[in-house]
Amino acid sequence: MNTINNTNYQFPKQKSVYKGKVREVYNINNQLLVMIATDRLSAFDVIMPKQIPFKGQILNQIATKMMQATEDIVPNWLIATPDENVAVGHLCEPFKVEMVIRGYLSGHAAREYKAGKRMLCGVNMPEGMNENDKFPEPIITPSTKAENGEHDEDISREDILKKGVVSEQDYLILEDYTQKLFKRGTEIAKERGLILVDTKYEFGRTKEGKIVLIDEIHTPDSSRYFYYDGYAERQEKGESQRQLSKEFVRQWLIQNGFQGKEGQQIPEMTDAKINEISERYIELYEQITGDSFVKADVSNVAERIEKNVCSFLELSGIK
């Protein structure tokens, strides 16, 4: 399968390129950002050795749909999607925090709770909760934005302000936008028979000084979903919830002795396992969006992306 791993383009007026865990971002003429969603798979902040077919297309198309569905309440960076794996948007200076918001005691929060902690990022978690119980109100638990593949780290609102990572004026806007997006995301999920459990948002500032939503939104990589149907019954019986998220990858890794810790070996990902993960991502796409997934032509995916991006830039007057 012709998947996208590393890219090495030289687009017209290209100034620089930033390579994240999954996305690669090209700065065009200090005006635009061309963000390419690769097929890389990251878990526990570690990039897996093999790529997942169509994963980048799935993430890019979900993020695009969700940005369009929320642009009336929170401004975002997106201008166009000239290719199935590409989003083009305004050049932004990213804030160095990820705004994580949790409606339920799941994932990282549940693991911390199980270890006896009752405070996460300076926020109290009530006593007597079971894994996957709903919080009385959604809690915001930010993390620092790691660079060069390092681990993201939990950080409290107080430390963000004390260390000057974000000014108080800006942080209040980030909190407000985070709550508004989570509320809308919860409503969209409910229409699809899903529960938006937790998610993360990233924000940046445009050259004009406007704070906007950047990167991805409400994708299975950045969010956790439960099926609404049967949620209450499963909680009552103490059963695990049916999930739509990347958690199935994390659980498989944990079962095979890997949590991203030093000295641990990434388990072998067979062709069958890769195909299984790809099919799960397609299921996620269709369940989250309500649309049938149409696989892009991947016979020469690198050339396709280059051609589509260059055509868009030329139409935009950048040659």
The domain that holds 103 is classified in CATH as: 3.30.470.20
- Are 237 and 102 within one domain? yes
In the structure encoding, which two tokens stand for residue 269, read together?
Answer: 């990902």
Residue 3 lies in a domain: no
Q: Is the pLDDT of residue 117 over 60?
A: yes
- Are 137 and 162 within one domain? yes
Residue 5 lies in a domain: no
- Are 112 and 229 within one domain? yes
- Are 73 and 102 within one domain? no
Sequential DSSP letters for 146-180: --TTPPPEE--HHHHHHTTSS-HHHHHHHHHHHHH
Strands 153-154 and 143-144: antiparallel
Distance CA 131, CA 134 (A): 9
- Are 172 and 219 within one domain? yes
Residue 262 lies in a domain: no
Higher-confidence residue of 205 and 150: namely 205
Distance CA 241, CA 228 (A): 10
Residue 9 lies in a domain: no
State pLDDT tens for residues 71-113: 999 999 999 999 999 999 999 999 999 999 999 999 899 999 9
- Are 22 and 65 within one domain? yes
Which helix (H) or strand (E) segment is 81 a member of? strand 78-83
- Are 110 and 234 within one domain? yes
How many domains would you assign to the chain? 2
User: Residue 45 — very low, low, confident or very high, per pLDDT cuts 50/70/90?
Assistant: confident
Residue 207 lies in a domain: yes
What pLDDT shows up at residue 148? 52
In the structure encoding, which two tokens stand for residue 49, read together?
Answer: 């050795």
User: Residue 247 — very low, low, confident or very high, per pLDDT cuts 50/70/90?
Assistant: confident
- Are 209 and 234 within one domain? yes
Distance CA 236, CA 116 (A): 22
Rg (CA), the chain: 19
In the structure encoding, which two tokens stand for residue 97, read together?
Answer: 């925090």
- Are 238 and 104 within one domain? yes
What pLDDT shows up at residue 257? 93
- Coil, helix or strand at residue 219: coil
- Are 118 and 161 within one domain? yes
Which residue bears the tokens 């995301």?
A: 185
Distances (CA, A) of 13 to 16, 34, 73, 189, 316: 10, 12, 33, 40, 12
The alpha-helical segments, DSSP class H, found in 192-300 are: 231-237, 247-255, 271-289
pLDDT average, residue stretch 127-131: 97
Q: Is the pLDDT of residue 149 over 60?
A: no
Q: Is the pLDDT of residue 7 over 80?
A: yes
- Are 88 and 102 within one domain? no
- Are 83 and 140 within one domain? no
In the structure encoding, which two tokens stand for residue 243, read together?
Answer: 């999930």
State pLDDT tens for residues 263-309: 999 999 999 999 999 998 998 899 999 999 999 999 999 999 999 99
Mean residue pLDDT of the chain comes to 93
Distance CA 172, CA 186 (A): 21
Q: Which domain holds residue 62?
A: 14-92+272-315
Contact 188, 218 (CB under 8 A): yes
pTM beyond 0.85, yes or no:
yes
Torsion 184-190-194-197 (CA) sign: positive
Distance CA 40, CA 21 (A): 7
Buried b / exposed e across 217-248, counting CB within 10 Å, b at 16+?
bbbbbbbbbbbeeebeebbeeeeebebbbbbe
User: Residue 235 — very low, low, confident or very high, per pLDDT cuts 50/70/90?
Assistant: very high
